[in-house]
C-alpha cells in the first residue's frame, strides 16, 4: 500500500461528520457476492464507517466476479477506476477474481490491496485507514446504531439475501466458480436464523436464501437432528416471524418432492418461485457440460413441483454456444425451454474460461452464431414471461412492497399497487391485469 493513502484525521468529507471515514461498495457478479458485500458493509457500519459514493469515500471495497471473461474485464475496470479517483482511496479487492488472479489486481495500482478472505475485509479497511472501531455522530449517538436502523442492509437493499451455503463439489465443464470458492460448506442453522432475525429487526419482511449450490445445504438443529434445505425452511418458518422466504437459484437434482411439499405447506411464506439452473435443454450438450442430470430428470422435477405447487413460477439459467453445440442441439434446447414455460430466463453466451475442460474442447462456436442464438432465446423468454403474466391475472398473491406503489410478487414479477403501502410490508393483492409493458402486474390491494 503506497504512502499516498491519507492519514485518518485528514479524511474530512464534505457533509459527513469529520470524524467518520466513508466506504463505497462495488458489487460485481452473483447474489452470493451481493450478500457478502452487505455483510462486509454491515460490519463496517457497526464500526461506524459511513456508506458514501465512490467519489467521496476513503476506501472502496470491490467484490469481484470471475464467472465469465466479461466479468473479469469489469472487475479490472472497477479496480482501475476506484484506484485512480482524485482522493486516491484505499481499494480493497476481494471475491472470485481476487482469489484466482490476485497478482493481476495488485499490479493495477499502488493503493490496491487484495483480501481473499471476505471475513477479513473489514479489518483490512480499518487497518488500511488507520481508524479505530467505533465513531460517534455529532449528536453523540453511535453512528452504527443510526446506520443499522435505516434499511434492511447498509447498502440500502430491501429483501436482503442470507448466504447459507458456499463452494461447490460439482465440476461443470465451463465453470471456475468451484476453483474460486472451494468445497461445498453450509452455514450452521442457528447462525442462519440469527441472520434472518437481524434482517427482520431491520424491517425486512422477505429474505432470500442464497448459496453457490444452495440445494446441497446440510446442518443440524439444536436438538441434534440432521436437516437439509426443506428442513431448514420448515424450521425457520416455525421459529421466526419472517413474512416470506425466497430461494435463489438451485440445481435440478435438489428440486425434490419434499422441497415442493414444504413450499406448498407454507401458504405463501415460501415464495412460489423456483430458479432451476438448466444450462441446456439438450442431453448431448448437458453430457458434454458434465452436468449431473438430464432433461428427463429436469422435466420430472418441474412436473412434481407444479403438481404440488400449481401457482409456482419458474426461472432458469441457459448457456448458448457451448463447444460442440450444433444447430440441431440448439433447436432441441430451445424447444425444451418452450415446453418448460419459464417465466424468467438468464441467458449467457458461453465464455471460455482458462483452466476449464470446455476451454480446450473441440467445436468452439462462432461468436456471431452465439449472438444469434442468444437473441432467439431472449425473444422466447420475453414471450413466455408475458404469457405467465397473463396467467396470473385474477389470482391473489402476496406482494413485498419495495416503494409506496410498487412491489414484488411471489413469482418475482414487478407489481404496480393501486394504493400506497409502507415499504417492506407484505400486502395481499388481487392481480387485476398486466401493464402496457406486458410483464408488470397490476395489483389491487386487498384490505
Ligand atoms: S454447480 Fe457447476 S456451474 Fe454451479 S458452481 Fe458448481 S461447478 Fe460451477
Contacts 24+ apart (CB under 8 A), 300-307: 301/252, 301/253, 301/255, 301/256, 301/276, 302/255, 302/276, 302/340, 304/255, 304/256, 304/257, 304/260, 305/255, 305/259, 305/260, 305/263, 305/274
Ligand 1: distance of its center to the CA of 213 in Å?
7
* Atom number in ligand 1 closest to CA 174: 3
The one-digit pLDDT tens for each residue of the chain (447 residues) are 334 434 444 444 444 445 678 999 999 999 999 999 999 998 998 888 989 999 999 999 999 999 888 999 999 999 999 999 999 999 999 999 999 999 999 999 999 999 999 999 999 999 999 886 544 444 444 444 444 445 566 666 679 999 999 999 999 999 999 999 999 999 999 999 999 999 999 899 999 999 999 999 999 999 999 999 999 999 999 999 999 999 999 999 999 999 999 999 999 999 999 999 999 999 999 999 999 999 999 999 999 999 999 999 999 999 999 999 999 999 999 999 999 999 999 999 999 998 999 999 999 999 999 999 999 999 999 999 999 999 999 999 999 999 999 999 999 999 999 999 999 999 999 999 999 999 999 999 997
Classify burial at 156, counting beta carbons within 10 Å of its beta carbon; exposed 0-12, middle 13-18, buried 19 or more.
exposed
Classify burial at 24, counting beta carbons within 10 Å of its beta carbon; exposed 0-12, middle 13-18, buried 19 or more.
buried
CA–CA dist 23, 26 (Å, integer): 10
Q: 376: helix, coil or strand?
A: helix
Strand-pairing partners, residue 186, are 165
Contact call for residues 352 and 364 (beta carbons, < 8 A): yes
Ligand 1: distance of its center to the CA of 168 in Å?
6
Name the CATH superfamily for 158-391.
Answer: tm_1862 like domain (3.80.30.20)
Ligand 1: distance of its center to the CA of 172 in Å?
6
Backbone angles phi, psi at 429, to 5 degrees: -135, 160
**What is the residue extent of each domain of the chain?**
9-146, 158-391, 396-445
Give me the pLDDT at residue 20, please: 74
Report the residue among 31, 210, 213, 355 best suited for mutation to probe ligand 1: largest number of ligand atoms under 8 A from its CB. 213
- The model's pTM is 0.89
- Specify the CATH number for 9-146; select among 3.40.50.9100, 3.40.50.300, 3.40.50.12160, 3.30.565.10: 3.40.50.12160
Contact call for residues 397 and 411 (beta carbons, < 8 A): yes
Contact call for residues 115 and 98 (beta carbons, < 8 A): yes
Which residues of 40-152 form beta strands (DSSP E)?
A: 50-51, 59-64, 90-95, 112-114
CA–CA dist 243, 204 (Å, integer): 8
Ligand 1: distance of its center to the CA of 440 in Å?
31
Distances (CA, A) of 380 to 333, 336, 346, 389: 12, 11, 12, 14
Q: Which of 182, 300, 190, 218 is nearest to 252 (CA)?
A: 300
Q: Give the closest residue (by CA) to ligand 1 atom 1.
A: 170
Contact call for residues 410 and 426 (beta carbons, < 8 A): no
* Atom number in ligand 1 closest to CA 279: 3
Q: Which of 277, 377, 386 is nearest to 331 (CA)?
A: 377
CA–CA dist 336, 334 (Å, integer): 5
At 147, list the grid cell. 446506520
Give me the pLDDT at residue 144, please: 47
Q: Which residues line ligand 1 (CB under 6 A)?
A: 168, 170-172, 175, 177-178, 212-213, 251
Backbone angles phi, psi at 106, to 5 degrees: -60, -35
Strand-pairing partners, residue 434, are 441
Angle at 48 between CA 45 and CA 50, to 5 degrees: 65
- Per 3-state DSSP, the chain is made up of helix, strand and coil in percentages (nearest 5) of 40, 20, 40
Amino acid at each position: 500500500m503506497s504512502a499516498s493513502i491519507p492519514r485518518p484525521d485528514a479524511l474530512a468529507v464534505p457533509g459527513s461528520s469529520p470524524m467518520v471515514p466513508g466506504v463505497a461498495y462495488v458489487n460485481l457478479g452473483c447474489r452470493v457476492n451481493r450478500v457478502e458485500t452487505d455483510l462486509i458493509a454491515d460490519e463496517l457500519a457497526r464500526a461506524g464507517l459511513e456508506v458514501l459514493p465512490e467519489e467521496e469515500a476513503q476506501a472502496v471495497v470491490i467484490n469481484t466476479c470471475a464467472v465469465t471473461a466479461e466479468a473479469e474485464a469489469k472487475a479490472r475496470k472497477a479496480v482501475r477506476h476506484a484506484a485512480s479517483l482524485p482522493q486516491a482511496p484505499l481499494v480493497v479487492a476481494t471475491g472470485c477474481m481476487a482469489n484466482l488472479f490476485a497478482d493481476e489486481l495488485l499490479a493495477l495500482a499502488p493503493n490496491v490491496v487484495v483480501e481473499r478472505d471476505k471475513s477479513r475485509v473489514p479489518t483490512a479497511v480499518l487497518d488500511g485507514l488507520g481508524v479505530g472501531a467505533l465513531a460517534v455522530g455529532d449528536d453523540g449517538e453511535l453512528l452504527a446504531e443510526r446506520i443499522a436502523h435505516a434499511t434492511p442492509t447498509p447498502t440500502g437493499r430491501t429483501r436482503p439475501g442470507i448466504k447459507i451455503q458456499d463452494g461447490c463439489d460439482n465440476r461443470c465443464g465451463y465453470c471456475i466458480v468451484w476453483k474460486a470458492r472451494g468445497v461445498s460448506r453450509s452455514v450452521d442453522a442457528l447462525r442462519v436464523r440469527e441472520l434472518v432475525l437481524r434482517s427482520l429487526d431491520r424491517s425486512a419482511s422477505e429474505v432470500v436464501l442464497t448459496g453457490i449450490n444452495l440445494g446441497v445445504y446440510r446442518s443440524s438443529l439444536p436438538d441434534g437432528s440432521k436437516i437439509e434445505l426443506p428442513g431448514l425452511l420448515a424450521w425457520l418458518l416455525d421459529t421466526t416471524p419472517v413474512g416470506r422466504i425466497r430461494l435463489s437459484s438451485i440445481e435440478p437434482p435438489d428440486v425434490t418432492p419434499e422441497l415442493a411439499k414444504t413450499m406448498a405447506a407454507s401458504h405463501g411464506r415460501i415464495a412460489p418461485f423456483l430458479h432451476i439452473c438448466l444450462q441446456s435443454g439438450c442431453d448431448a450438450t448437458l453430457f458434454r457440460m458434465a452436468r449431473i442430470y438430464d432433461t428427463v430428470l429436469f422435466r420430472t422435477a418441474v412436473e412434481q413441483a407444479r403438481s404440488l405447487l400449481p401457482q409456482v413460477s419458474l426461472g432458469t439459467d441457459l448457456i448458448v454456444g457451448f463447444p460442440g453445440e450444433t444447430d440441431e442441439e440448439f433447436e432441441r434446447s430451445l424447444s425444451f425451454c418452450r415446453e418448460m414455460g419459464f417465466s424468467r430466463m438468464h441467458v449467457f453466451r458461453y465464455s471460455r474460461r482458462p483452466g476449464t475442460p470446455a476451454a480446450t474442447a473441440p467445436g468452439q462456436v462462432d461468436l456471431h452464431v452465439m449472438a444469434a442464438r442468444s437473441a432467439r432465446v431472449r425473444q422466447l423468454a420475453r414471450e413466455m414471461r408475458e404469457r405467465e403474466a397473463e396467467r396470473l391475472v385474477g389470482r391473489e398473491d402476496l406482494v413485498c412492497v419495495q416503494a409506496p406503489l410498487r412491489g414484488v410478487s411471489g413469482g418475482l414479477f414487478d407489481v404496480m399497487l393501486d394504493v400506497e403501502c409502507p415499504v417492506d410490508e407484505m400486502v395481499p393483492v388481487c392481480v387485476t391485469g398486466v401493464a402496457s409493458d406486458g410483464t408488470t402486474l397490476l395489483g389491487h390491494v386487498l384490505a
